[in-house]
């Protein structure tokens, strides 16, 4: 690869391909949610704690509170609070997606990348997650890819429509 990708973290643009910029730092600053849910082969609780573990913060006294908060933000707490030790892969597709969103948010990323984050959700869950994203964009930069133009307009401050690799509309 050649070129640069610079992202504004705090008040400074940083080239993420710079040899001095560690991938572990990027993982702490950028959260990602994919179109297909990707729960890890572990319990619901451990799925949410995993990013904290990578950062060395999984044994802190406030960890259970942080897990509960992340799950509540993603409207999942009431559905799983009595099942936290169960395998996350037993959740429904929509629950798995909300779990992945909670996992991405637990580190309070500066940038959140979302690829069709509501594609596996029912209308009610989709609406809740859209409302969450409107709130989250006050805290971090969100880059959302969606085939649903109405959804993008409900969430985004700025939007671009692409067709065959070309930008055909911006608002």
Name the residue ranges covered by the structural domains of the chain: 30-170
CATH of domain 30-170: 3.40.50.300
Average pLDDT of span 93-101 = 95
Residue 3: pLDDT band with limits 50, 70, 90 = confident
pLDDT > 90 in the chain, percent? 80
Q: Is 150's pLDDT higher than 80?
A: yes
Q: What is the pLDDT of residue 1?
A: 58
Q: Is 80's pLDDT higher than 70?
A: yes
- Beta strands (DSSP E) in 3-140 are 6-9, 12-15, 30-33, 111-115
Nearest to 5 by CA among 167, 89, 134, 113: 113
Q: pLDDT averaged over the chain? A: 94
- Express each pLDDT in 33-67 by its tens digit: 999 999 999 999 999 999 999 999 999 999 999 99
> pTM for this one?
0.90
| Phi, psi (rounded to 5 degrees) for 163 | -145, 125
């Amino acid at each position: 690869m050649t070129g640069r990708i610079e992202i504004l973290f705090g008040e400074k643009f940083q080239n993420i391909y710079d040899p001095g910029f560690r991938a572990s730092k990027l993982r702490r600053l950028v959260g990602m949610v994919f179109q297909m849910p990707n729960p890890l082969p572990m319990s619901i609780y451990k799925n949410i704690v995993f990013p904290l573990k990578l950062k060395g913060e999984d044994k802190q006294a406030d960890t259970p509170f942080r897990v509960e908060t992340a799950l509540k933000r993603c409207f999942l707490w009431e559905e799983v609070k009595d099942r936290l030790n169960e395998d996350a892969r037993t959740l429904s597709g929509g629950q798995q997606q909300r779990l992945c969103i909670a996992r991405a948010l637990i580190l309070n990323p500066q940038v959140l990348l979302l690829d069709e984050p509501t594609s596996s959700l029912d209308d009610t869950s989709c609406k809740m997650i859209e409302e969450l994203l409107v709130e989250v964009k006050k805290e971090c930069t969100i880059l959302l890819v969606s085939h649903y133009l109405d959804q993008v307009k409900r969430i985004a401050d700025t939007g671009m429509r692409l067709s065959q690799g070309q930008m055909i509309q911006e608002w």
